Amino acid sequence: MGGRTVGSRDYHTSVQRAYLASTRVLSLLLLLVGVAMVASALARGGGVLALGVIVGTMFALVGAGRLWLARAGRR
C-alpha cells in the first residue's frame, strides 16, 4: 500500500505539471492570436474601434491574465 501512495503522488505531480505547462502554452497562443488580430485589423485600415482591434485586445488581455495567474501556480 505504501508503494501505491508514492506512485499516486508521482502521478499527481506529473499531471499537475502537465496541466500548468498546457495552460501556459495555450495562454501564450491566445496572447499571440490577439496581437495578430490587432495587427491585422490595423494593417487593413481598421480604426481603434474596429472589431478586430477590440476582440484582439480582449484575446491578448485574457492570454496575458492567464499567464500571470499561471505564474502563481509555480510557487
**What confidence tens digit (pLDDT) does each residue in 38-65 have?**
999 999 999 999 999 999 999 999 999 9
What mean pLDDT is predicted for residues 28-44?
97
The verdict on residue 5 lying in a domain is no
The verdict on residue 10 lying in a domain is no
The verdict on residue 2 lying in a domain is no
Give the integer Cα–Cα distance in Å for 37 and 72: 28
Q: Tell me the H-state helices in the chain.
A: 2-43, 51-72
The verdict on residue 31 lying in a domain is yes
**Residue 72's pLDDT is what?**
77
Q: Give this prediction's pTM.
A: 0.79
**Residue 9's pLDDT is what?**
78
The verdict on residue 52 lying in a domain is yes
* Torsion sign (Cα): 10, 16, 19, 21: negative
Counted domains in the chain: 1
Domain that holds residue 54: 23-75
